[in-house]
């Protein structure tokens, strides 16, 4: 048994060595500079700009040579045994994400879509999520759910976010009374969890009141990977017949218990709403509306047209796909993707914004002043800002954009080539099925685009500063038809949270506050590895 196991492991290593050599040769053949990634299996989302530009990867002669061939704007690398083209240039990002979108409709290639799943209900629920869908299925699903995230729809559910903000502010008040340091990621994790539970699942998660809230425990389990999860993944993608083995054992790749917990919650909520005809105008109701809608009339004529460049770029041209008949599975998968894509990203953005505010008191004071000016315009009986007021605060918006510039939740955005392509301005061919990685963190940390890039400076996002740089140099929410569908929701909840807290409290540093953090290499998101500890003080 031990001998067979050892032979198996050696074979896998030999296979990957040969494949690695092959991808390196492949990029050499196409005259593309090659970078060996720091992550063992390949391309890592937490790679920094310095990694590209320091001679760590090359000696000086090789670096000069690579620069002549387009490095670091574009270079070749690998993920598992697949050659990957990496893009670190806003103009090329614009081509791939927007202009030539019909060559890059998918986020993951056939290899992962076919191999990293089983026929188990749990995996089918994950496979139906917008982030995993491909081609016409993705287009139809995106088209069906885009209308639920418009500004008009969000206005109708702002009071649910107010309720959770109230719990957050109460909890911050308790921290101020205690006067001891607390961890920001954990605090805003509760806020983000309760907001999504309320708006997308129709339940109260009570994370602030209960340390072991059942919803929060189950939903949180979706984000924790055990060694067993990693083993299942490697078995599926790297071991021949690994998938057949899992199928045979009836074991899903994804986490069974929390997925089924969420499945039960959302199906019960939908069932209850349909039976009792109760309506809350939250995301659950809007998803039910999408389920009831006639797919043939799904060009949503009643929706006001959003007119920012970001929205214009998001339009799916030539809807050549069959409109989607939304069924219960798709509804459940969409509720789950809201949690999967919206929970950690928003919590982390709020935590990092608060960390930088604590470290930069002058910026925090400027933001506080903007908030107090807004409070002065609010009617006495209205404790919370309404939709129009919260959206009218430029500095709040600038602080959040700078947070996502300095720490984009997704440091790497992937696209799969769905139609053969030549990278503009080069001779680099991309064959259908090959992946392109857009290195958001590298673009955001490029000193030619953002001088002194490690400095937290919201002034980079004034109208004038934005007009002076390439319009695709901020990719915090992606770009093009596959951009973040929940961006408005995320910004609304983050703004309401900061408004609620900063109106009465001040984040301050303490001896436990670190100067800078490093990124957790095991996380898919660009997540700080160290605890972000600060204190709060009540304002007089
Ligand atoms: C600050 C918080 C958030 C950040 C930074 C963020 C960022 C992103 C990014 C970078 C992408 C990939 C875009 C691309 O490939 O071009 C994305 C996709 C997505 N996001 Fe967000 N997101 C956030 C919050 C949310 C929230 C709250 C939701 C749901 C309500 C959400 C739902 C999604 C979905 C469903 C996708 C996939 C869209 C598709 O494939 O068509 N996100 N997000």
In this predicted structure, the answer to whether residue 54 has a pLDDT above a threshold of 50 is yes
Q: What is the 3-state secondary structure (H, E, C) of 438-503?
A: EEHHHHHCCCCCCCCCCCCCHHHHCHHHHHCCCCCCCCCCCCHHHCCCCHHHHHHHHHHHHHHHHH
Burial class of residue 49 (count of CB atoms within 10 Å of its CB; 0-12, 13-18, 19+): buried
User: Which residue's CA is the closest to the ligand 1 atom numbered 11?
Assistant: 484
User: Which residue's CA is the closest to the ligand 1 atom numbered 27?
Assistant: 342
Q: Ligand 1 mean position to 63 CA, how many Å?
A: 35
- Say how far apart CA 318 and CA 296 lie, in whole Å: 15
The first and second tokens of residue 439, run together, are 């290195």
- Say how far apart CA 77 and CA 37 lie, in whole Å: 7
Angle at which helices 328-359 and 256-276 cross, to 10°? 110
Picking from 223, 262, 438, the residue whose alpha carbon sits closest to that of residue 343 is 223
Picking from 186, 131, 154, the residue whose alpha carbon sits closest to that of residue 340 is 131
Cβ proximity of 20 and 81 under 8 Å: yes
Residue 484 labeled ligand binder: yes
Express each pLDDT in 148-184 by its tens digit.
999 899 999 999 999 999 999 999 999 999 999 999 9
Q: Per mean pLDDT, which range of 13-27, 92-106, 370-384, 475-489 is the poorest?
A: 13-27
Cβ proximity of 148 and 284 under 8 Å: no
In this predicted structure, the answer to whether residue 353 has a pLDDT above a threshold of 60 is yes
pLDDT at 206: 94
Within 8 A by CB and 6+ apart from 106, the residues are: 113, 134, 135, 138, 415, 416, 418
pLDDT band at 12 (very low <50, low <70, confident <90, very high): low
In this predicted structure, the answer to whether residue 372 has a pLDDT above a threshold of 70 is yes
Closest-lying ligand 1 atom to the alpha carbon of residue 349? 1
- Give me the residues paired with residue 429 across strands: 422
Q: Ligand 1 mean position to 290 CA, how many Å?
A: 20
Phi, psi for residue 51 in degrees, rounded to 5: -60, -35
User: Which residue's CA is the closest to the ligand 1 atom numbered 21?
Assistant: 484
Q: Ligand 1 mean position to 344 CA, how many Å?
A: 11
pLDDT band at 77 (very low <50, low <70, confident <90, very high): confident
In this predicted structure, the answer to whether residue 530 has a pLDDT above a threshold of 80 is yes
pLDDT at 142: 93
What ipTM was predicted for this assembly? Answer: 0.99
The answer, yes or no, to whether any atom of ligand 1 lies below 6 A from the CB of 485, is yes
Model-level pTM? 0.91
- Say how far apart CA 148 and CA 286 lie, in whole Å: 6
Q: Ligand 1 mean position to 478 CA, how many Å?
A: 8
The answer, yes or no, to whether any atom of ligand 1 lies below 6 A from the CB of 410, is yes
The answer, yes or no, to whether any atom of ligand 1 lies below 6 A from the CB of 400, is no
pLDDT band at 345 (very low <50, low <70, confident <90, very high): very high
In this predicted structure, the answer to whether residue 499 has a pLDDT above a threshold of 90 is yes
Closest-lying ligand 1 atom to the alpha carbon of residue 338? 29
pLDDT band at 304 (very low <50, low <70, confident <90, very high): low
In this predicted structure, the answer to whether residue 273 has a pLDDT above a threshold of 60 is yes
3-state secondary structure of 338: helix
Q: Ligand 1 mean position to 377 CA, how many Å?
A: 33
Cβ proximity of 161 and 493 under 8 Å: yes
In this predicted structure, the answer to whether residue 301 has a pLDDT above a threshold of 50 is no
Question: In the chain, what are the domains?
Answer: 2-538 (1.10.630.10)
């Amino acid at each position: 048994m031990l001998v067979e196991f050892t032979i198996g492991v050696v074979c896998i290593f030999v296979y990957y060595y040969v494949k690695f050599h092959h991808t390196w040769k492949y990029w050499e053949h196409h005259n593309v500079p090659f970078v060996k990634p720091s992550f063992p299996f390949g391309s890592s989302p937490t790679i920094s700009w310095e990694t590209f530009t320091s001679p760590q990867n090359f000696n000086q002669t090789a670096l000069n040579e690579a620069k002549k061939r387009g490095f670091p704007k574009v270079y070749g690398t690998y993920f598992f045994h697949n050659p990957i083209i990496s893009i670190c240039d806003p103009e090329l990002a614009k081509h791939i994400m927007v202009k030539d979108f019909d060559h890059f409709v998918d986020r993951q290639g056939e290899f992962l879509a076919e191999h990293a799943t089983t026929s188990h209900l749990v995996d089918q629920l994950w496979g139906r999520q917008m982030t995993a869908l491909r081609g016409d299925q993705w287009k139809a699903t995106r088209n069906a759910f885009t209308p639920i995230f418009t500004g008009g729809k969000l206005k109708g559910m702002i009071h649910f976010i107010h309720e959770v903000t109230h719990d957050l502010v109460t909890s911050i008040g308790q921290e101020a009374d205690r006067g001891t340091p607390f961890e920001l990621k954990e605090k805003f994790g509760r806020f983000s969890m309760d907001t999504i539970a309320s708006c997308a699942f129709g339940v109260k998660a009570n994370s602030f009141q209960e340390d072991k809230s059942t919803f929060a425990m189950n939903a949180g389990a979706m984000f924790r990977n055990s060694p067993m999860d990693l083993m299942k993944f490697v078995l599926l993608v790297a071991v021949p017949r690994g998938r057949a083995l899992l199928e045979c054992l009836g074991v899903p790749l994804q986490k069974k218990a929390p997925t089924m917990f969420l499945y039960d919650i959302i199906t019960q909520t939908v069932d209850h709403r349909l039976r009792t005809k109760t309506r809350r105008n939250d995301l659950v109701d809007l998803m039910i509306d999408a389920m009831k809608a006639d797919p043939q009339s799904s060009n949503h004529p009643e929706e006001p047209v959003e007119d920012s460049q970001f929205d214009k770029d998001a339009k799916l041209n030539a809807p050549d796909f069959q409109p989607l008949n939304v069924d219960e599975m798709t509804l459940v998968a969409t509720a789950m993707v809201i949690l999967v894509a919206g929970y950690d990203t928003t919590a982390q953005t709020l935590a990092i914004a608060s960390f930088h505010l604590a470290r930069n008191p002058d910026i925090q004071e400027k933001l506080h002043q903007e908030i107090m000016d807004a409070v002065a315009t609010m009617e006495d009986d209205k404790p919370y800002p309404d939709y129009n007021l919260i959206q009218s605060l430029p500095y709040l918006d600038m602080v959040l954009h700078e947070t996502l510039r300095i720490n984009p939740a997704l440091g790497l955005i992937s696209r799969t080539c769905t139609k053969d392509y030549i990278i503009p301005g080069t001779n680099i061919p991309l064959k259908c099925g090959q992946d392109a990685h857009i290195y958001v963190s590298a673009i955001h940390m490029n000193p030619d685009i953002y001088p002194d890039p490690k400095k937290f400076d919201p002034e980079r996002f004034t109208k004038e500063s934005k007009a002076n740089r390439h319009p695709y140099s901020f990719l915090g929410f992606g770009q093009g038809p596959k951009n973040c569908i929940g961006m408005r929701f995320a910004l609304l909840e983050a703004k309401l949270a900061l408004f609620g807290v900063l109106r009465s409290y001040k984040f301050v540093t303490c001896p436990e506050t670190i100067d800078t953090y490093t990124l957790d290499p095991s996380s898919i998101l660009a997540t700080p590895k160290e605890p972000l500890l600060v204190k709060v003080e009540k304002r007089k």
